[in-house]
Amino acid sequence: MDNNIQSKVDKWLNGNFEESVKLAIREMQQSNPDELADAFYKNLEFGTGGLRGIMGIGTNRMNKYTVGMATQGYANYLMKSFEGEISVAIGHDCRNNSRDFAEITANVFAANGIKVYLFESLRPTPEISFTIRHLKCKGGVVCTASHNPKEYNGYKAYWDDGAQLVPPHDKNVIIEVEKIESVDDVKWEGGESNITIIGKEIDKLYLDMVQRLSIYPEKCKEQHDLKIVYTPIHGSGIMLVPDALKQLGFDNVHIVKEQSVPDGNFPTVIYPNPEETETMSIGLNQAKELDADILLGTDPDADRVGIGVKNNKGEWILMNGNQTALLAFNYMIEARRAKGIAQPNDMVVKTIVTTNMIDVIAKENDVACYNVLTGFKWIASLIKQKEGKENYIVGGEESFGLMIGNEIRDKDSVSACTILCEMAAYEKSKGRSLFDKLIDLYIQYGFYKESLVSITKKGMNGAAEISAMMEQFRNNPYKSLDGIRIKELKDFQLQVGKNLIDGTEWKIDLPKSNVLQFVLEDDSVISARPSGTEPKIKFYFSVNTKLIETDKFEETEFQLDQKISRIIKEMNLN
């Protein structure tokens, strides 16, 4: 075994760790040395969003010790950053060990003299963002691995604005976490009196906030029998989504029974992610059986939402994240104007890999649209920057996330579910569907079609393989794709954009991020982005053309799909 790995193993065998942990390490030494090496070959990185990894024993795993050490480092940074009383809010989702990790986190903060507001049981991630702002906390933590498989767990760290950490705090917290070299550096207990359990009283405040986001509450009451099918996919959405829909006036909500009970084993799915067709299949079947108006599915920590609707042939389809986002953005712009509550300084925010159709819609409606790096912390950062000058109304990204209104700073499927159902009710009151509205928007603004290819590289060599792929794209960029010249290469790591035709360059005024973006002469966009939390590299494809009329939708969609397929094949990503 590598000397560095062996040194870490020995440290655990001889250190202040539970005997059961030492026994498990010895068993792995005998039965599975490769697994032992993977568990110890590096420290689980406290990245700019926190921790995320497979649960188990070792420095490269999510466990009591890695969580405690991360919390001690974060606590140290909070105490350096603020004077007087410091408080944090802590929540968790349905995952195995999430409650344990949340309690460990609470105990370490409390032992450091920090006041802790700990939710009594699982709650949607966005409620913790809301709580941080409402209770004027200096930070917070949610123990969740979002939509990852059941083997994973994670630790999302938040700052005093209710958003995940951004510069300089993200890097500074990492520095403090890396200073914690031993479990003996952690204050594990002794501050229990600093912990306050919270629950229903915050739920009510949060649900009232969600209700205030409604633009046409009268349409919700008028269409109170809108037939809604909802699945929490075994997650924390069950705690608030049904109540939020009920409070808005919807009384015909059908919860998918097989997926209604919180369960970290996710027994009915492989990936608890509403982006996955298989994950939504049980809900889709129920929606068909009931002849519902809309299907909603939220991920385990209830920050993402996927929806299903009937197309113009009466067939059920699942909308992708870009389609859901552009419908929501358009509604927030269009409905606010129709209701007379639009402000001249309204703004919307999207990420650089989210459909550019939103930019077109915003421009046509004289609403400022800003593009930021992937992640809602960057949307939140821009809101903070524009506070008092521009009026934020909605933000989102293609990965099934929406953030509506100004009282939270993270993606929120609870408020998204209510707005999406309100949109469905509004269209139904006119004898139409959300799909009809989508086609209208394509005809009005252009038909934008997006697709995603995600490649996973596991194990110790995975990160190196992904890095090599990015360097190849960066150093030897394509000149053309699908016979169309590439006119621009945007390198967000180098913060430089370059016109590949005339050689001119410009500075990209965004923080550094390892993303490359190719823009073709027909305004197709291909983006390459390694994940910051998983051993993956994602490729985003966006193509567009005109849609003349509704009857041409399928033919035009097929042409766009074929174009994307040709580009994927040319890039050897099949």
Same domain, 122 and 235: no
Q: Which residue is it, tokens 């958003």? A: 163
Catalytic position from the list 87, 129, 146, 236: 146
**pLDDT for position 536:** 86
Same domain, 290 and 155: no
**pLDDT for position 1:** 72
Q: Comparing C-alpha atoms, which of 571, 514, 516, 522 is closest to residue 544? A: 522
Give mean pLDDT, residues 424-442. Answer: 97
Same domain, 155 and 236: no
- Mark which of 416, 445, 474 sits at the end of a domain: 445
Same domain, 552 and 471: yes
Q: Is the pLDDT of residue 305 over 90?
A: yes
Instruction: Using pLDDT thresholds of 50, 70 and 90, give the confidence band for residue 460.
Output: low
Q: What are the tens digits of pLDDT across the range 170-228?
A: 999 999 999 999 999 999 999 999 999 999 999 999 999 999 999 999 999 999 999 99
**pLDDT for position 337:** 97
Half-sphere exposure of 347 (CA within 13 A, CB side): 21
Beta-strand relationship, 152-159 and 228-231: unpaired
Determine whether 168 is exposed, middle or buried from the number of CB atoms within 10 Å of its CB (0-12, 13-18, 19+).
Answer: exposed
Asked if the structure places residue 160 within a domain, the reply is yes
Three-state DSSP string of 127-168? HHHHHHHHCCCCEEEEECCCCCCCCEEEEEEEECCCCECCCC
- Which residues span the domain enclosing 477? 449-570
Asked if the structure places residue 164 within a domain, the reply is yes
Same domain, 317 and 419: yes
The CATH number of residue 513's host domain is 3.30.310
Asked if the structure places residue 24 within a domain, the reply is no
Give mean pLDDT, residues 474-493. Answer: 94
Asked if the structure places residue 16 within a domain, the reply is no
Q: Is the pLDDT of residue 461 over 80?
A: no
Same domain, 330 and 379: yes
pTM: 0.94
The answer to whether residues 283 and 274 touch, using CB atoms and an 8 Å cutoff, is no
Q: Comparing C-alpha atoms, which of 2, 1, 23, 3 is closest to residue 12? A: 23
Same domain, 420 and 458: no
Asked if the structure places residue 7 within a domain, the reply is no
Q: Is the pLDDT of residue 459 over 70?
A: no
Q: Is the pLDDT of residue 513 over 70?
A: yes
- Mark which of 387, 414, 445 sits at the end of a domain: 445
Contacts of residue 535, defined as CB under 8 A and 6 or more positions apart, other chains included, come to 456, 457, 458, 459, 462, 463, 466
Same domain, 271 and 347: yes
The CATH number of residue 53's host domain is 3.40.120.10
Q: Is the pLDDT of residue 160 over 70?
A: yes
Instruction: Using pLDDT thresholds of 50, 70 and 90, give the confidence band for residue 388.
Output: very high
Asked if the structure places residue 21 within a domain, the reply is no
Same domain, 229 and 257: yes
Same domain, 333 and 242: yes
- The total of other beta-carbon atoms located within 10 Å of residue 384's CB is 14
Q: Give the Cα separation of 188 and 178 in Å (integer).
A: 18
Instruction: Using pLDDT thresholds of 50, 70 and 90, give the confidence band for residue 435.
Output: very high
Q: Comparing C-alpha atoms, which of 53, 14, 362, 439 is closest to residue 184? A: 14
- The total of other beta-carbon atoms located within 10 Å of residue 566's CB is 13
- Mark which of 413, 429, 445 sits at the end of a domain: 445
Same domain, 71 and 163: yes
Give mean pLDDT, residues 142-160. Answer: 95
Same domain, 296 and 190: no
Contacts of residue 200, defined as CB under 8 A and 6 or more positions apart, other chains included, come to none
**pLDDT for position 245:** 98
Q: Is the pLDDT of residue 394 over 80?
A: yes
Instruction: Using pLDDT thresholds of 50, 70 and 90, give the confidence band for residue 535.
Output: confident
* Straight-line distance from the first to the last Cα atom of the chain, in angstroms, rounded to the nearest whole number: 36
What does pLDDT average to over the chain?
Answer: 95
Q: Is 182 a catalytic residue?
A: no
**What is the chain's length?**
574
Instruction: Using pLDDT thresholds of 50, 70 and 90, give the confidence band for residue 533.
Output: low
Asked if the structure places residue 56 within a domain, the reply is yes
Torsion, Cα 163 165 166 171, to 10 degrees, reads 170
Contacts of residue 149, defined as CB under 8 A and 6 or more positions apart, other chains included, come to 266, 270, 271, 272
**pLDDT for position 531:** 79
Give mean pLDDT, residues 351-371. Answer: 97
Total structural domains in the chain?
Answer: 3
Give mean pLDDT, residues 313-317. Answer: 94
Q: Which residue is it, tokens 């409070």? A: 247
Asked if the structure places residue 247 within a domain, the reply is yes
Give mean pLDDT, residues 79-93. Answer: 97
**pLDDT for position 47:** 82
